[in-house]
């Protein structure tokens, strides 16, 4: 077994978080070093933030709907079973 495999806490989630952190750092660098005015940069940042907010609202709604559907399916599965099974 090599050193990476035996080190605790070094798994897929750590790799994913490191990748996402690097992508975020690169995006922020691009935003702030791009040749445009401050007003244009602020507009672009606010547009991205607004799109992200709308996406998160959709994710929250979809999660609630999926939870409700799972609850209904679970409940009906037990109601449909014959007694004594």
The reported pLDDT for the residue numbered 72 is 92
* Residue 85 pLDDT class (50, 70, 90 cuts): low
Domain spans in the chain, listed from the N-terminal domain onward: 1-33, 36-85
CA 21 to chain centre: 13
Helix, coil or strand: residue 62: helix
Mean pLDDT of the 57-83 span = 87
* pTM, to two decimals: 0.47
| DSSP one-letter code for 44 | H
Q: How do residues 6-62 score in pLDDT, each as one tens digit? A: 556 667 778 888 888 999 898 888 877 878 787 888 898 899 889 999 999 999 999
């Amino acid at each position: 077994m090599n050193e990476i495999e035996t080190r605790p806490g070094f798994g897929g989630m750590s790799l994913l978080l490191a990748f996402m952190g690097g992508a975020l750092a690169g995006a922020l660098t691009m935003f702030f070093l791009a040749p445009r005015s401050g007003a244009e940069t602020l507009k672009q940042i606010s547009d991205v933030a607004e799109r992200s907010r709308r996406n998160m609202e959709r994710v929250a709604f979809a999660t609630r709907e999926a939870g409700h559907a799972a609850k209904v399916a679970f409940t009906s599965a037990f109601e449909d079973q014959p007694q004594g099974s």
